Amino acid sequence: MQPVTLVPITAANFRECIRLKTQPEHESFVATNLFSIAEASVHPTWTPCAIAAGEILVGFVLIPFSLA
């Protein structure tokens, strides 16, 4: 089993992150990753992160506070 980690969004993984999609039946409940990353840029305490299993991005989370 690969370790699951939170990964900062960077220029290197940005496109891969915004390509991640939720299940179609959940689309009405959450914003797209692109919108969430953009929204975080105007909320300095919000932290967008990719979720990685080993080296593979498997998800996205928008944390409503700073991890710093």
With respect to residue 54, please indicate whether it lies within any of the assigned structural domains.
yes
With respect to residue 36, please indicate whether it lies within any of the assigned structural domains.
yes
Q: Mean pLDDT for the chain?
A: 95
The number of residues in the chain equals 68
Q: Which domain holds residue 38?
A: 4-63
With respect to residue 8, please indicate whether it lies within any of the assigned structural domains.
yes
- The pLDDT assigned to 66 comes to 79
pLDDT of residue 37 exceeding 90, the answer is yes
pLDDT of residue 50 exceeding 80, the answer is yes
Q: Are 2 and 42 in contact (CB under 8 A)?
A: no
Distance CA 35, CA 55 (A): 24
- Which residue did the predictor score with more confidence, 1 or 6? 6
With respect to residue 27, please indicate whether it lies within any of the assigned structural domains.
yes
Number of structural domains (the chain) is 1
* Degrees to nearest 5, angle at CA 39 with 38 and 44: 105
With respect to residue 68, please indicate whether it lies within any of the assigned structural domains.
no
Q: Quote the pTM value.
A: 0.88
